[in-house]
Amino acid sequence: MDLHKLKRTAKPLEWADEDRELALGILRTDPLFRRVEDSAVAGLLDCALSAGAECAEELIEEQDCADPLRLSRRMGIRVLFDISRSASAGSFNILSTYTHQPPTITVYENRLRLCREKLMGRGKRNNVFLANLTNICVAHEIYHHIERKSLKFINLQHRITIADLRVVKIQKSLSMLSEVAANAFAMRLMELPTLPSIIHEGFEV
């Protein structure tokens, strides 16, 4: 699966204003966001959102499957469920992680439990996230697996110059572009009503 070819679509996908705001919220957490020119932000969001969504569509067509756990098995990705108390520590926003050697997705069950408790009673729309939280996490990390396996990271398509020393430029990438794409991937794979990053809105631990 070639992530580079995903940016060559003839007609860009359309996104709701809410999805764009959520994607912008993710991108703003990047330490380098303040260095991004205002005129470049919309294009960056379009690129990342489209890359994630189109990657999901291609995977569904390729595998004839949209179930994250089944897909992970077919793709040779281990899925581990960490129930240790120590996994409750750290950032509440990190509900799962991906490591590539061997390909492994770790879902932090204690953090998911806290997240489920906070989602309860937040309206009917949140019920779809509440019922699918584990699958959402797995879907999100599957995108990172695809990105890593292809070694074509969406965040490398836009670099920020940190220092220009005439003979050499020091540049870094916006790592959160990959997070925007992973959210769009999970949304499209699971037909969610909006980007799943919405589950983090309104509460931080």
User: 39 or 169: whose pLDDT is higher?
Assistant: 39
Average pLDDT over residues 85-112: 82
Span 19-64, pLDDT tens digits: 999 999 999 999 999 989 999 999 999 999 999 999 999 999 999 9
Backbone angles phi, psi at 204, to 5 degrees: -135, 145
| pLDDT above 60 (res 2) | no
* Predicted model pTM: 0.87
Instruction: Give the pLDDT band of residue 202 (cuts 50, 70, 90).
Output: low
Backbone angles phi, psi at 116, to 5 degrees: -60, -40
Which DSSP letter does residue 106 get? E
Query: What is the overall mean pLDDT for the chain?
Result: 86
| The total number of residues written for the chain in this structure | 205
pLDDT of residue 168: 79
Say how far residue 5 (Cα) sits from the centre of its chain: 19
Q: Are strands 103-108 and 78-82 parallel, antiparallel or unpaired?
A: parallel
Span 115-141, pLDDT tens digits: 888 888 777 777 888 889 999 999 999
